[in-house]
Structure 1
């Protein structure tokens, strides 16, 4: 019954604003469906009051005129762009009504369309129809949403690649390899009693290995791709009063975190966003890591560990007046027992350099750790810290590459890899070809 309802709704002519809500110079209402041109044509006249203009218009043309309500009152002077099926975004007849960007005008256009039997589209319904009509695949439809929400150059780049079919092409290649492998396995099954060998076992093994490597690379790309899409999380950690909040304020170039000489001022995590080199970074200022003196601070420290867990880059802030390089190494080892640091980039920042005189030996020790020495209060060395953060984010490794940024794709890849590993294990143990073929079919699904 639900399927019938969906099919019935697909026959509806739908409309929706194509521009954000609010006043602007120009607004747009999009109408899609088999009756889109006919319905809008009934509302449209030229300045000379000529009718029937849109239904006789060629595809891809724009017509200037007046839009009238059901009482023949003028709503606005508009431009109507006509797109005929199947050569439109949705694959249906589409009319885009460009009007003056008044909220009232847009509302009146939509009300008039509703009065003529047009339904207001559900969220994402235009892209859904494009998908159902074969104008784009599901990954491209999802890329439309990513492109709309892209806030940075690199998020835009990732969305454009997916929208242009880059991800689809990778999946197509992967699927072709799996189909070829399955074909060879099934041929082996069909002619198993005739001693005909269609592929060497080493070739079959090589095919499985290459597919596994492709899947693994795509799965491994999710952590990076998702971070660049939504903002790279950076946890700023260290002991209380080491200057974490001051450093964050210096990087942001404005005071966003509370700064105090009293230890334990930051009781909760504070998250701020900044763009650097076309990439969004999500800085998380954390409570100082130490033995808590009360339940409130204890909760703050717990959240600090959670911030470290989800961060890709960790900035460990050290008070140079209180801490030696040896102590920092011990503290990082201890931190690793609380939250595994494997795979995370760690930047050690020695703060309050304006208050100490480091000996040559001490400087060499800090340099050997890759530590940077700054004065967050005086804003000394901050640009160098920012440049190091950009370097650690590995932006160049992302640009130009196809990466998994969608959690649904990531989950599907993981399930496919799990099924492939079962197939490989069965193959290595000399199991029958029908069992291995069954596992490969599971990978394809």
Structure 2
């Protein structure tokens, strides 16, 4: 599958900037670069050592394109495992395009999305899970997702899988050997040790599978819906959380007629807040569409913040709040709900105990927090409550966390095969039938790290990369 052509692409973001980096990779990378680069020292770059940087000019037919720094990375000690040249030029889009077009005329081919990383994988510089972590690292926008991507790119996940796969492969070999001597009725694989291995593999697989729930929200951010009646302060709360005037605030009920979304990173975890239209009975067509979208956003959210205006609370209105809570609970039973009593400074003292008694159930759920969105009081307590919904213990303990849906699917299938093998052990199933299930488990392990792959799978994975990586 690997192309023998020398490829080129812009490795830095497109557009004007101070510096741009143009990357070349392939067997002719150094020869092509030498045709257009004139070193200030007069030395030929083909004679220079790997991992060296040289000052010079990009020149063709007497025309000087730019003064640049040229970096040399000779195979196999490069990102792709091939000869790699990186040209750091000035960031003018005109200069970038002129140099790339010149290199194309000299024999380079324009790189496809992810082609540099694909070559790194095919040349054994990265396994498949590490290659996918490169894309996750580029797209990481908070501390937690960055930490997970770095751990995976360093091989934390693939090393754990590779170790299990190697141990299982050793036992598979012994069982295959038993099949060769089936007539002599001998056992080369210690069944007690094999059972212990299966239990250990099953334990690790279940831990990795369970980690996906945390990893997925860390990678993609946790959607939080802010809901409530009109004019209770939802937009003010969003502005207080983001510490900026993101949403329009007005005393006119129904001002927010569409959902407004923005993101906030709290202690390295990304939260995506959704300010929704107020929920009420209305004949306004536009507002009613907004209210319909509110329930759609609640369905998409993982946490619901139900905002209540404390200054308007009475014994009668508390009943309506409880009805609203039950409505959300009945429609979305698995979603945690946080009741936020806004304008706490305007709550009548005699109402406080009534609110606590009415809104707290036997198990203490849902959580009730008192705030003043306008004065930004209670916002820190709310942020702590949101963090409590995320299990960050695995991050602090540097455990492997699965964030990739493809890996999650392969782990589920591998676990299913391992459980079949263990069932076969418990029921004295014949070795030849157990060997089939073991091979399937090994296949799914190999899918994760890339020992087992195909062109279609690789095409799907690397098509999501950016050009130049």
Aligned counterpart, 2:353: 361
- 5+ residue gaps, structure 2, are 444-469
1:316 equivalenced with 2:306 (yes/no): yes
Aligned counterpart, 1:349: 340
Change in CA separation of 1:297 and 1:209 when aligned onto 2, cut-off 3 Å: farther
SS for the counterpart of 1:371 is: strand
Matched-pair contact (CA < 8 Å) for 1:39–1:116: yes
Change in CA separation of 1:24 and 1:260 when aligned onto 2, cut-off 3 Å: closer
Distance in 2 between residues matched to 1:292 and 1:199, nearest whole Å: 73
Q: Of the two structures, which has the highest relative contact order with CA contacts closer than 8 Å and spacing of 6 or more?
A: 2
Distance in 2 between residues matched to 1:38 and 1:72, nearest whole Å: 19
Aligned counterpart, 1:397: 394
1:12 equivalenced with 2:2 (yes/no): no
Q: CA deviation at 1:403?
A: 0.9
Matched-pair contact (CA < 8 Å) for 2:214–2:391: no
SS for the counterpart of 1:340 is: coil
- 5+ residue gaps, structure 1, are 1-5
Cα deviation digits, residues 134-186 of structure 1 (max 9, x gap): 11111111111111222222221111111111111121123134324534654
Alignment of 1:47-66 (within 5 A): 47=40, 50=42, 53-66=44-57
Structure 1 window deviating more from structure 2 (196-205 vs 110-119): it is 196-205
Cα deviation digits, residues 100-151 of structure 1 (max 9, x gap): 2222222221111111111121111111111111111111111111112222
Cα deviation digits, residues 311-342 of structure 1 (max 9, x gap): 3333222333337677655544432321231x
Change in CA separation of 1:207 and 1:335 when aligned onto 2, cut-off 3 Å: farther
Structure 1 window deviating more from structure 2 (373-382 vs 263-272): it is 263-272
Matched-pair contact (CA < 8 Å) for 2:208–2:402: yes
Matched-pair contact (CA < 8 Å) for 2:144–2:218: yes
State the TM-score, normalizing by the size of structure 1.
0.86
Cα deviation digits, residues 247-276 of structure 1 (max 9, x gap): 112212223234455555544432111222
SS for the counterpart of 1:81 is: strand
1:137 equivalenced with 2:127 (yes/no): yes
Q: CA deviation at 1:308?
A: 3.1
Aligned counterpart, 1:385: 382
Alignment of 1:31-42 (within 5 A): 31-42=24-35
SS for the counterpart of 1:26 is: strand
Aligned counterpart, 2:213: 223
Q: CA deviation at 1:373?
A: 0.7
Matched-pair contact (CA < 8 Å) for 1:305–1:339: no
Pick the aligned partner of 1:124 from 96, 103, 114: 114
Aligned counterpart, 1:23: 16
SS for the counterpart of 1:55 is: helix
Q: CA deviation at 1:397?
A: 3.5
Q: How many residues end up aligned between the 2 structures?
A: 433
Aligned counterpart, 1:334: 327
Matched-pair contact (CA < 8 Å) for 1:248–1:257: yes
Distance in 2 between residues matched to 1:297 and 1:426, nearest whole Å: 61
Change in CA separation of 1:338 and 1:430 when aligned onto 2, cut-off 3 Å: farther
SS for the counterpart of 1:25 is: strand
Distance in 2 between residues matched to 1:210 and 1:293, nearest whole Å: 61
Change in CA separation of 1:190 and 1:289 when aligned onto 2, cut-off 3 Å: farther
Distance in 2 between residues matched to 1:327 and 1:206, nearest whole Å: 57
Distance in 2 between residues matched to 1:104 and 1:41, nearest whole Å: 22
Q: CA deviation at 1:19?
A: 1.6
Pick the aligned partner of 1:247 from 217, 237, 240: 237
SS for the counterpart of 1:34 is: coil
Distance in 1 between residues matched to 2:438 and 2:408, nearest whole Å: 19
Cα deviation digits, residues 210-254 of structure 1 (max 9, x gap): 322322221221221122122222122334444323211221222
Give the superposed CA RMSD: 3.0
Distance in 1 between residues matched to 2:118 and 2:381, nearest whole Å: 47
SS for the counterpart of 2:22 is: strand
Distance in 2 between residues matched to 1:413 and 1:189, nearest whole Å: 28
Pick the aligned partner of 1:93 from 83, 88, 95: 83
Distance in 2 between residues matched to 1:323 and 1:192, nearest whole Å: 81
